[in-house]
Amino acid sequence: MHTTHSELVINGHRFDLEHCHDIWLPITPDEATNAFSLPAACFEPFRIGSFVGSIEQGGPVRCDVVTLAPHGNGTHTECVGHIAGRSYTVDVCMRQLADAATLVSVPLALIEDDFVVTREHLAAAWPASSRTTTLVIRTLPNDSSKRTRRWSAQNPPYIHIEAMNLIVERGIRHLMVDLPSVDPEEDQGALVAHHRFWQWPEDPRVDCTITELIFVPDDVPDGLYAVMFNVAAFHGDAAPSRPVLLKPI
């Protein structure tokens, strides 16, 4: 990977640095997406003595103390530490800045009472000739309500284990989805898709990541892009992230 004044080159492909598509959801205290019954992010001005970190309350500067839960408060990137514990943190596992990515739109299928991404639908949308190591999945239907949807206790869609098998078989190292999780909201802690993706504990893929709660607008066509991950340097299993897609030249 290298850059010139206005382009990024990855594996011989050239991408336009001046025109990008935002595929992230912000972390805000109001009208923000939320999942897993986690509390909304909280932004409170710091106080000590007579000092208050709020312009509106008469302070000289704004200085917030922010409380958040990355897994439920907007776009976030997680590492194997999510299922393996404190030995793995996203700031160490995720050192890659950008990668070539394939964006695919996949219709959800209803299996029993669950909407899922199936292997069949994923394979139909994802050309076998694709050789990128990042996969971006936009589920269908895709509407703007995903930007602020409250997913908690709604049995949100997820990735079927056979679809995850295909993702791993094709060598995807970084998976990005517009869902709260690749696993069901309630599965008694099994997290089978997470375990399959990271191959934990048999053969851990510690440099691989999953990014959840993205949003890809309809006017972004499927195909080849570069993705810039923009993962915050949190020393935890997950961190807020601000991924963008760059158009090929």
Q: Where are the domains of the chain?
A: 2-34+70-248
Q: Which one-letter amino acid corresponds to residue 43?
A: F
**pTM for the predicted model, two decimal places:** 0.95
**Residue 98: which of 54, 132, 122, 141 has the closest Cα?**
132
The CATH classification of domain 2-34+70-248, taken from the options 3.50.30.50, 3.40.50.620, 3.30.2130.10, 3.30.1330.20: 3.50.30.50
User: Residues 12-29: what's their mean pLDDT?
Assistant: 94
pLDDT band at 71 (very low <50, low <70, confident <90, very high): very high
Convert the pLDDT of each residue in 109-132 to its tens digit: 999 999 999 999 999 999 999 999
Residues across the chain: 249
Asked whether residue 34 carries a pLDDT value surpassing 90, the answer given is no
Q: What is the pLDDT of residue 173?
A: 98
Q: What is the pLDDT of residue 121?
A: 98
Convert the pLDDT of each residue in 225-248 to its tens digit: 999 999 999 999 999 999 999 999
Q: What is the pLDDT of residue 126?
A: 98
| Alpha-carbon span 88 to 47, nearest angstrom | 34
